[in-house]
Structure 1
Amino acid sequence: MFINPYIFHCCKRCARKRNSRYLPRDIVFQFLLHLPAQLLHNVVRHVCREWSLVICSPNFIQHHLRNSTGGVIIQQKLSPRNGIYVEMRRGCLEICKFDCGVDGLVRSSCNGLVVISDESELPNLYVTNPLTKQWTILPPFSNLTGHYWNCGLAFVESSMEYKVVSMCGDGYIVPKTRIAVLTIGVDEVWRHIDIDLCHLLLPTELSFIWFLLVTGGYVHWPSSKFVLTLNVETEIVRRFPAPQLPKMFGSFLPMGSNLSFIDESGKFSRDVWEMNSVTGEWTMLFSFDSEPLSDRFKGMFSNYTKSITPRFWLVARELLVFSLGFGQILWIVYNVKTSEIQSFELEVGRYHSEAHVNSLVWLE
């Protein structure tokens, strides 16, 4: 049988039908790693059974996740299903519609999975993969748990488990404020971490821990004076000092596996600090110049310095996402190394945003 040496097909079956060669699985594996998760799920896995087996294999899913670039979910608070997903591909911004299949706001994201709060009827929390539309509902908070203030999704690499963490309580009273944890697929009810917050926080400090940030296997509650950090594997909470700066004015943002702080006290110079999640030690990494942003957008708003806000690291230590304007109508991606600027506009409204990466990950 003659085999055309210049035509390749996906599998042996297709090759036999068309009298041509087929691609070995290891080459297919490496080729598919470079395709976006959305294309793999919606199109490529339907090409043939062999490609579908590769794409759905746990080994491929984990390799593809490590090879993927991050993006940002932006939702309208009053209409969360009318959201968008923004990512940088081949040096250009790509914007597509975002619909996770559940009518609610994304509260946290980890490895392509998101926690969504749906308060349309009864307050519910879901964990879902917005791409594959697989989802599970989390157990409700009990009366003993109280009301959750915010929640974060974190990954424990050693056990391959996902945990949802929330600071919860009944009002701003330290003795009644606790940290609730739920190991997905293991816990049927929320657990409380056995710590005494009175030893970590003063009564006047409780109001500063209403929001949290997740970096890898750590959950942080930052403030201008301290950072409360939970190791989700050991479930140990530690209190670390905030960066020791003359004037504490800036933004805490997740940056890879560690927490970052962008010092905005200068007119145009911005210092980027990084906290080691294990030791709590802060290191000044580099400075960047924000004057190119001012030159380009200063005519749009009368008070520029108070209307531009750092939101996320799209690429750690390189691409920083800002929103500009009190209505968050203009979003900017700024390369802190090259000063390159890309932007897009939204309608005036109230928006909620979360860093995210499209993936094929699901809970086994």
Structure 2
Amino acid sequence: MSSGLLMQLIGTRQDLVFISMCQGRIEVSEFSKNPKCMIGASCNGLVLGFVDGTEFPPHVVNPATKRLFILPQFFGGTVKRFESGIAYAAASKQYKVALTYGRKFAILTLGVDHSWRHVPTRNLSASAEKPSSVHVLTTEGFVHWAPSPPHGRQVMTLDVETEIVTETPFPLPQEKETKMFYFSAGKYLSLLIARDELVWDVWEMKPKDGEWTERLMIDMNALKFPHNCNLHGIYPVGWIEYPDVVVFGTPGPNCIAYNIRTNETDSIELCFPPSGSRFVAYKSSLVSSRGC
């Protein structure tokens, strides 16, 4: 089983690049030629994506077999591209795809449902509002709609087993505009908050109870960086291995991998710039295939 980051040039169906760790070293490999879609989310070896520039519905693709699952149309309202996610419900051994439209949510069980089902949100507060711009992330058994700065201060989380939506506020009071980035981190939702370009606080959330914990601080000021790295404006793009190895994008054609455990950095040479790319956490562990 391998895990890491899938990378694809935004707005294209260009070949997927996979960034991972292999025997303690960074490895960049061609993951899939002609993946048939623009990637949006991933769970246990399956990828949720869009074909031919369509807004909706997304498709589910198994990149290993190239098998494509076309999801039914949704007629409940307008759905923005990349605001849907996929997660695995372990108890029922089912993959589920979820989406938002306005303040509402809908869900579909892959291989079972032929239409979308509305998800009740009576437990949410009257002030609960999905951010106008979100980053959809998957953790073990959950889909999260996390705000893209500066568009909100709370995360909406759907438990795909119970099909209950909860809201979790930002862990710190809002004092000023802050750079913050949410990422999938296995069973946790990870949040990186900038102190400056080279110093970041790392928080993690337990999706089951919405509890935030400050995990560690990243301080790269004293590190030696590869000579070809432009450090101005670097930003995190995701975890290769949580909580040990995090990847930062740069303005140039490369990324920086920082190994927190060894306190070392590596330059990741890429064929297209990270600033114009989408990064999605990926783990090749297909649990329940249902013909996938």
Per the normalisation by structure 1, the TM-score is 0.69
For residues 209 and 167 of structure 1, what CA distance do their matches in structure 2 show?
A: 12
Residue number in structure 2 paired with 1:212: 136
How far apart are residue 160 of structure 1 and its match? 0.4
Rate the CA distance shift 1:360–1:185 in 2: closer, same or farther, 3 A. Answer: closer
* TM-superposition CA deviations, 1:63-109 (whole Å, max 9, x none): xxxxx231211112244233312211111222222326542211111
Match of 1:269 in 2: 199
Q: Paired residue for 1:232, among 160, 183, 186?
A: 160
Partner of residue 121 from structure 2, selected from 195, 198, 210? 195
Distance 1:148 1:299 in 2: 37
Q: What do the CA deviations read for 1:216-250 (whole angstroms, capped 9, x no partner)?
A: 11122223522222111111111122112555432
Secondary structure of 2:134's counterpart equals: coil
* Residue 363 (1) aligns with residue 290 (2): yes
CA deviation after TM superposition for structure 1 residue 284, in Å: 1.3
Deviation at 1:212, TM superposition (A): 1.8
Identity of aligned residues (%): 31
Alignment of 1:1-364 (within 5 A): 68-99=1-32, 101-120=34-53, 123-142=56-75, 144-149=76-81, 150-169=83-102, 177-195=103-121, 199-201=125-127, 205-208=129-132, 210-223=134-147, 224-245=152-173, 248-266=178-196, 268-292=198-222, 295-296=224-225, 300-301=229-230, 304=232, 307-325=233-251, 329-349=253-273, 350-359=276-285, 362-364=289-291
Number of equivalent positions? 281
Give the drift of 1:136. 1.6
Amino acid at match of 2:10: K
The code of the aligned residue for 2:290 comes to L
Q: Deviations over 1:115-171 (max 9, x none)?
A: 1111346844221211122332111222x24324411110000000000111124xx
CA RMSD, Structure 1 to Structure 2 (Å) = 2.6
Whose relative contact order is higher, 1 or 2, with alpha carbons under 8 Å and at least 6 apart?
2
CA contact under 8 A between 2:130 and 2:145: conserved in structure 1? Answer: no
**Structure 2 residues without counterparts, runs of 5 or longer:** none
Task: Evaluate the alpha carbon distance shift between residue 146 and residue 267 of structure 1 in structure 2; reply closer, same or farther with a 3 A threshold.
Answer: closer
TM-score normalised per structure 2: 0.85
Give the distance between the partners of 2:50 and 2:228, measured in 1 at CA. Answer: 38
